[in-house]
Each structure stands twice: as structure tokens, then as C-alpha cells.
Amino acid sequence: MVEKGKPRSIANTSGANARPTSRFSLIPVVALQFYRLSVLVLGIETSCDESGVALYDVGLGLLGHALHTQVAMHRDYGGVVPELASRDHIRRLPVLIRQVLEESRRDLSQIDAIAYTAGPGLAGALLVGASVAQGLAFSLGLPCVAIHHLEGHLLAPFLSGSPPELPFIALLVSGGHTQLMQVSALGRYELLGESVDDAAGEAFDKTAQMLGLGYPGGPALATLAEQGSATRYVFPRPMLHSNDLNFSFSGLKTAALTALKRETAGHKAYADLAASFQAAVVDVLVSKTCKAMEQTGVKRLVVAGGVGANTRLRAQLSEKARVSGFQVSYPKLEFCTDNGAMIAFAGALRLRQGQTDGRFQIRPRWPLSSLSAL
Ligand code: KG4
Ligand code: ZN
């Protein structure tokens, strides 16, 4: 499957592991945009339980993407089993890469750079993506771009036809993170607040598990909530009035468990519990997000990450945006959860700045605010 690439002309010889940098890294941004050159970036995402691959062309946009979710494999265990996740990524990536190239009518020799998720995430899963990306790049003589998974999520709305303008506030709500970020420019991310314990997605998943909805439970809990009453159970709104922009969700999950233990099992009770729980999480997310908009005076909001697919969250944020006079952007639903397209896109942006990386590295823990500007 690996073909010899076209010759790369310019060598970056700093360090033993240096490899040729892309010729495009030397072309000024303006020139790239003006001539709309075809610069093709292969994106690889393997931070957790989804193998995602995509091809992004700087001139033409997203050419194709493919995703394999490991949900069925992990379901029996009630959560992600890291070793199984890594092994499955090894199996899936070659197939997905072939599929995306075929569907995009491109071949390996046409790729200009490979972007991969270097962190944060499960170390073993990240290692698979990094190995495939670095191995392929080395054999083709291409540059590699190490991408921060959350930057990928944050830039996902830019894959749509009407990308948000800068500056904006980002609400990042995934299975592993709940953060409010101020984005003054691409690559400049300032943390305003975050969860001090469980992430919102994690709380959704754990509560769904209690209700017997399987893994990952977020979407299933949201579906069940549509049939229930959001006011039957009065759950706490943790840290709603704290004097900061932080969140806490682990107590809410315990409150849901306590209510569940008092209930006789039944569809109606479970649906009410799901709806009441969801309402509490969404209320806190919306309230803190609005506080961040007020405090910073920024007039645009981007919602990213898997929980950003939640219908109630979207409806309430859109309503607040209408009343308070700010704009809100969401990624397309398919790019809310983990995917290769957001990694390929972030890779194209960092490649444009010459931010390639010859080192083999993964960063399971990696603060978003430590990234260099774009
Ligand atoms: O961003 P993502 O795909 O992966 C991480 O980077 O963590 O987010 C996955 C999380 C899971 O916790 C999942 O249950 C949650 O997003 N999720 C939802 C919904 N869709 C996905 N939570 C609530 N409502 C949804 N509709
Ligand atoms: Zn994610």
C-alpha cells in the first residue's frame, strides 16, 4: 500500500530525526490562499474508541472521510478497554486509509502531509495513530503534523460552509473534557473554566449505564429523555452560583443514582430521570457559557465535542444567543463526535505555518493553552 512519493526538495536538517519539510511550508499563507494550490493532508484520529481518517485539500476542502466506531466491541465491558482499542485501531487504519483514498479518487503519491492526533487520549490508541502516520510519512518522504485532539474539535465548525468569525468563546464538551475557552485567534486558546471532576459526557455515560442504556450512553440517554418529564426529579445544578466558570458533574451523577435507588424500575420513571438529569447538566452548561459570554464581551460562541450534539443543549444555547444577541455555531452533527476530518483540517492549518514535527511523540496529557499560535 505504501508507494514511493514524489521527491521532496527542501530538507530540514535540525536533529537526527529530521525529515524533509513540505515545500508548502515555505510558501506564504497569502500565496497559498491566492493561488488555491492543491495541498492534500491525510488526517488520522485514534485518541479513544473511534478510528477516523480523512483527506482535506486546502483548495477544495474536505474530499472524503471514513470512521469506524468500536462501540459494539467495548459495549460488553461497559466502557473502553484500552488494549482492545489499540488493537482495533491497528486493524482498521489501513482499511480506512484505502477507503478514503479510493472514494476521494486520490492515491498516496498525491498526499502532501499527514496529520495525526498526538494527544490527549489513551496512550496505546494514540501510539497506533502516531506510528501509522509517522511510518507512512517517513516512507513517502512527507512531513507529519502532530495535532491536539481538542483543537480538532474546536476547529470542526470550520468544516461547514459558514465558518465562525474570530474571536469566539468555545464550549468544549466531550467524554473527557468540559472546558470554556477564549479563542482570540486560531491557535490562541485561553482556558476560562473547566470541570473540576467528571466531564459532562462522562456524567451522561455513567448515568446512562445506571439506567441500563449501555455504552456510550449519552445519545441513548438523550433519546430516552425525549419521552420523560424534565421536572419530575429536582436535581442539583452544581456550582451554578460559584464565582468562576468551572463545572462539577460527579455529584449530579450520585444524585441520579440515589433517585434511581428509591424508584421502582419502569420505563416512565427512567425516562423522567433521564430528562431531569439532562436538564440539570444542560442548565449548568448554558448558564456558565452565558456567564463567559457576558464576562468577556465576546459575541460569538462555538460549541464542540460529542455532547455538542445534544438537542436540548443546542436548543437552549440557540435561544439564549437569540435573546442575548450573540451568534452560535455548531459543527455538523457528523463532526461533533471524534472524526478524522477535524484532524486533517487542523493539520492543514498547522502545515501552512510550517509547524511540522519530525519527532515521534504522543502526549496523553496536553493542555490546549500550550499550543503555538496559527
Ligand atoms: O467528542 P467525543 O466523540 O469523544 C471525546 O473526545 O470524548 O464525545 C463523546 C461523548 C460521549 O460521552 C457521549 O456519550 C457524548 O459525547 N454524546 C452525547 C450525545 N452524543 C454524544 N451526550 C449527550 N447527548 C448526545 N446527543
Ligand atoms: Zn473527542
Q: What pLDDT is recorded for position 194? A: 97
Which residue among 51, 202, 204 has the greatest number of ligand 1 atoms within 8 angstroms of its CB, and so is best to mutate? 204
Distance 314 CA to ligand 1 centre (A): 14
Provide the grid cell at 121: 487520549
pLDDT by residue (tens digit) across 182-218? 999 999 999 999 999 999 999 999 999 999 998 889 9
The pLDDT assigned to 44 comes to 98
Ligand 1 site residues (CB inside 6 A) read 48, 153, 174-176, 201, 204-205, 216-219, 222, 305-307, 309-310, 337-338
**Residues bordering ligand 2, an ion, CB closer than 5 Å:** 174, 338
Contact 354, 166 (CB under 8 A): no
Domains and CATH numbers, the chain: 23-156+337-370 (3.30.420.40), 165-330 (3.30.420.40)
Ligand nearest to the CA of 174: 1
pLDDT digits (tens, 9 = 90+) for 38-80: 899 999 999 999 999 999 999 999 999 999 999 999 988 988 9
Confidence at residue 187, expressed as pLDDT on a 0 to 100 scale: 92
Q: Give the per-residue pLDDT at 10.
A: 23
| Alpha carbon distances (Å) from 211 to 71, 139, 268, 372 | 18, 49, 12, 43
Report how far ligand 2's centroid is from the alpha carbon of 176 (Å): 7
Helix (H, G, I), strand (E, B) or coil at 270: helix
The residue length of the chain stands at 374
Q: How confident is residue 33, by pLDDT bands cut at 50, 70 and 90?
A: very low
> Counting atoms of ligand 1 from 1, which one is nearest the CA of 121?
6
- Please give the model's pTM, rounded to 2 decimal places: 0.87
DSSP string for 178-239: EEEEEEEETTEEEEEEEBSSS-HHHHHHHHHHHTT--SS-HHHHHHHHTTS-TTSS----TT
Look up cell 436538564; give the residue.
279
pLDDT at 21 over 60: no
Residues 3-20: pLDDT tens digits? 333 322 222 223 333 333
Query: Which of 307, 316, 368 for mutating ligand 1's site (highest number of atoms within 8 Å of CB)?
Result: 307
The pLDDT-based confidence of 162 (bands split at 50, 70, 90) is confident
- Which of the listed residues 154, 172, 174 should we mutate to test ligand 1's pocket, taking the one with most ligand atoms within 8 A of CB? 174
State in Å: Cα 305 to ligand 2 middle. Answer: 6
How far apart are the C-alpha atoms of 331 and 371, rounded to whole Å?
Answer: 22
Alpha-carbon distance of 127 to 63, in angstroms, equals: 26
Rounded to whole angstroms, the Cα distance separating 271 from 295 reads 36
pLDDT in the model for residue 29: 42
Q: Under a CB-based contact definition with an 8 Å cutoff, are residues 30 and 134 in contact?
A: no
- Give the confidence band of 30 by pLDDT, cuts at 50, 70, 90: very low
Q: What is the pLDDT of residues 266-310, one digit of tens each?
A: 889 999 999 999 999 999 999 999 999 999 999 999 999 999 999
User: Percent of the chain beyond pLDDT 70?
Assistant: 90
pLDDT for residue 24 is more than 70: no
